[in-house]
Structure 1
């Protein structure tokens, strides 16, 4: 963790409420300017993103395949609990993201979620190391999920022309190559194409699901005239806690990208402009996370699958819509790989000249770290029988911290002694108490439900490791 301490020493940093510097909502503009000036003195400059590029990067991360799993969540929860959960998750996303930003502006030397945990928990080295473990476990498992998703896309498009493990190798190699750019500014350029491709995939799905006479199949079996498509306000009879909690975790997982935000903010030239990028993301997410899933549930009803492409009854429709998912699958994997690699890379390189210069050693270490990340992700993708189950486990174990608990704690340190200073602050204090309760609920009952779901799935047949089995949707 030397780079964090070195940064504090180098700029002579103290918390911004302790200095007489120009302030903007609790932040020291002088401190931010010093960090940017230091970065721009390096050969490889990281703090170069405008808020517009940051908005594209955010959209590239959030406009993802998980949107197409929300139709299934609605089919489990029904209209009323489902839409309420989606809207509530969106509101909490905005509030917690703004709390994160304000905390980072107080400690602008924060470079990643691990630094955030270090300061939020009283400059605790243990919190830093534990957060680092969660960061790597979460991100590498997610990259593995995208490797597996890429293999599914290629299986579907080619009618399983090659062994599935071969497709996974192809996706992993492409991921390593695309991950070589060191700055998120360059990755944000890829994100434009990623978000556009996913948007097109969603649009095609909605068109195809609307023009089809009926869906093809759902988890309960093929469509039959005796069981026509229907929607419902509340969960169907027989829906147990584990199923309902799985649907809730599926929604909350989509609305918890904050694990990446500190790294994104640290590479903005003007991090004080982050709320502009966040507002763009909130608008896009609010629409895409609710409207397409709702339309999908209307057409698919109880036959909804995750992702919803699998419910389409015509193979051509599946291929035409699902095929575009290969772009966001790769790009989102690259984003998570970049954030993970930077955490490892700067632990290895520290503040040496290789860390910020175009040297053979610098680029060699970067490429090696990236290759190791993708290889481990590939292994996870191949040996874990059900990545979906493990993502639910990650959502309960880690998103409870990265989406809720961390920011309730950060709020406490930001406004300690001023929790009820006015009506607005009092309302926000109550909301953050609720945020902590939500986080603890996901960590407790949510984790229990995720483990139970894994036990149920593993009691039946599971996908063998390094399989050639056809994984087409």
Structure 2
């Protein structure tokens, strides 16, 4: 960055990106280039990752809390996620060396912070991969009329996920993200049309539904975590040609996801009513259900590969940062990379078929980690940089008291989602065992 650009950015109060400290450094002369993504493709990757299988459960959330609170919640969470994305992007621009949440954790909390947030990212990414594997299994079961054992279906989907996650750079997945976004849009529209042409007679559509705290928070967990993709943002931004354009991608993501979530959930709920299933395509006739799941299958596949890629990329960069294996086609580099991708998908596969309560554990993982990655940590990012980079310490926090208060409230919100979400997920497991709903491992 030239001194003129840096000076102009400082005058406007914008973060200054120091390219010399970039995690991938100067890539001239290297065989493998990571910094190749435009903001448009980063936006597509974000949408492909976030607007996936979780969207299909949103109509059921509206049925549980009512139309009005549900829509308000979706819009609020979309705005909130955009706000935390801005704080995250600014932190990345201020600290170009940050590649993932573990690197950010080191800046905030030292070595312990690095290890905890790195481990959390890996666990959450693997759990998310497993979630997509289960969604792929559901889709294949519907398409095959339960013609194969569910373990076989998960294995087939896991093998495809592994192959798709193998490119070393996200540029290798960028064009597929366009296909993935188109598929989830069409799958959502097919679900809406399928619900519209087969509207439930005598359906109940409530403006507001009164619930106790447990049922209410259980209902809103899907909307809360439907925006939970920020844990990948540092990795995505690190592979942009111009990280300074990252907010354009974030604006595109949040505008699209919020509008599409509201449109999809409202129309499906209005057409089907309070009996809408989760995922929503299960409420459709067999033909429409197969169409929706069949079209959405490609999105589940790419989202799963992105999550597995994220888990592998964090470890790979940690191992080889500053070494030639990162940027060159070495045997060691490719063997380690392939092994890491295989391990990520393999662990997700084993968990999804061997742990009967895995679907509940996904909820716990999301509550513990996504609550912080998407919401709470953003407050720490702003407070840290305002305190240290401004050079005035506590005086800077007092002078910018509005943002200080918002950052503290963001941290409190993340803590609340973490605690309440964990409580709800644990209670779900207890209730499932009590009611005999937990199956056995490795069963069809």
TM-score where L is the length of structure 2:
0.92
Is 1:262 matched up with 2:238?
no
1:171-228: CA deviations, max 9, x gaps?
A: 11111111111111121211111111111110011001001042xxxxxxxxxx6xx2
Is the CA contact 1:148–1:168 (under 8 Å) kept in the aligned structure 2? yes
> Which is further off, 449-458 or 428-437?
428-437
Give the corresponding residue for 1:70.
58
Structure 1 residues 255 and 29, CA, compared in 2 at 3 Å: closer, same or farther? closer
- Take 1:71 and 1:27, find their aligned partners in 2: how far apart are those partners? 39
- Take 2:258 and 2:327, find their aligned partners in 1: how far apart are those partners? 38
Is the CA contact 2:65–2:208 (under 8 Å) kept in the aligned structure 1? yes
1:324-349: CA deviations, max 9, x gaps?
A: 12101110011111111011223333
- Take 1:452 and 1:34, find their aligned partners in 2: how far apart are those partners? 44
Is 1:277 matched up with 2:249?
yes
Q: Which has the higher helix share?
A: 2
Is 1:159 matched up with 2:137?
no
Is the CA contact 1:405–1:436 (under 8 Å) kept in the aligned structure 2? yes
After TM superposition, list the pairs within 5 Å mapping 1:333-348 onto structure 2.
333-348=304-319
After TM superposition, list the pairs within 5 Å mapping 1:54-133 onto structure 2.
54-121=42-109, 124-133=110-119
Give the corresponding residue for 2:392.
none
- Take 2:23 and 2:365, find their aligned partners in 1: how far apart are those partners? 34
2:278 counterpart SS class: coil
Is the CA contact 1:241–1:449 (under 8 Å) kept in the aligned structure 2? no
Residue 261 (structure 1) shift: 0.2
Structure 1 stretches lacking a partner, 5+ long: 1-15, 215-224, 469-473
Give the corresponding residue for 1:6.
none
Is 1:332 matched up with 2:333?
no
Q: 1:177 aligns with which of 160, 163, 179?
A: 163
- Take 1:270 and 1:77, find their aligned partners in 2: how far apart are those partners? 42
After TM superposition, list the pairs within 5 Å mapping 1:38-49 onto structure 2.
38-49=26-37
- Take 2:23 and 2:348, find their aligned partners in 1: how far apart are those partners? 33
Residue 22 (structure 1) shift: 6.7
Residue 390 (structure 1) shift: 2.1
Residue 415 (structure 1) shift: 2.0
Q: 1:354 aligns with which of 291, 301, 325?
A: 325
Is the CA contact 1:250–1:392 (under 8 Å) kept in the aligned structure 2? no
- Take 2:332 and 2:297, find their aligned partners in 1: how far apart are those partners? 32
Residue 272 (structure 1) shift: 0.4
> Which is further off, 19-28 or 360-369?
19-28
- Take 1:145 and 1:274, find their aligned partners in 2: how far apart are those partners? 27
- Take 1:388 and 1:233, find their aligned partners in 2: how far apart are those partners? 30
TM-score where L is the length of structure 1:
0.87
Give the corresponding residue for 1:222.
none
Structure 1 residues 234 and 49, CA, compared in 2 at 3 Å: closer, same or farther? same
- Take 1:365 and 1:245, find their aligned partners in 2: how far apart are those partners? 42
Instruction: Give aligned pairs, total.
Output: 431
Give the corresponding residue for 1:295.
267
- Take 2:16 and 2:144, find their aligned partners in 1: how far apart are those partners? 55
Structure 1 residues 321 and 241, CA, compared in 2 at 3 Å: closer, same or farther? same
Residue 305 (structure 1) shift: 1.5
1:303 counterpart SS class: coil
Give the corresponding residue for 1:218.
none
Structure 1 residues 413 and 162, CA, compared in 2 at 3 Å: closer, same or farther? same
Q: Quote the RMSD (CA, aligned, Å).
A: 2.1
Give the corresponding residue for 1:217.
none
Structure 2 stretches lacking a partner, 5+ long: 388-394
Structure 1 residues 343 and 148, CA, compared in 2 at 3 Å: closer, same or farther? same
Is 1:208 matched up with 2:194?
yes
- Take 1:93 and 1:270, find their aligned partners in 2: how far apart are those partners? 22
- Take 1:441 and 1:190, find their aligned partners in 2: how far apart are those partners? 36
Structure 1 residues 34 and 426, CA, compared in 2 at 3 Å: closer, same or farther? closer
After TM superposition, list the pairs within 5 Å mapping 1:370-385 onto structure 2.
370-385=341-356
Is the CA contact 2:81–2:227 (under 8 Å) kept in the aligned structure 1? yes
Is the CA contact 1:249–1:395 (under 8 Å) kept in the aligned structure 2? no
After TM superposition, list the pairs within 5 Å mapping 1:373-412 onto structure 2.
373-412=344-383
- Take 2:257 and 2:271, find their aligned partners in 1: how far apart are those partners? 21
Structure 1 residues 22 and 297, CA, compared in 2 at 3 Å: closer, same or farther? closer
- Take 1:70 and 1:34, find their aligned partners in 2: how far apart are those partners? 39
Residue 147 (structure 1) shift: 1.1
Is the CA contact 1:117–1:406 (under 8 Å) kept in the aligned structure 2? no
Is 1:419 matched up with 2:397?
yes
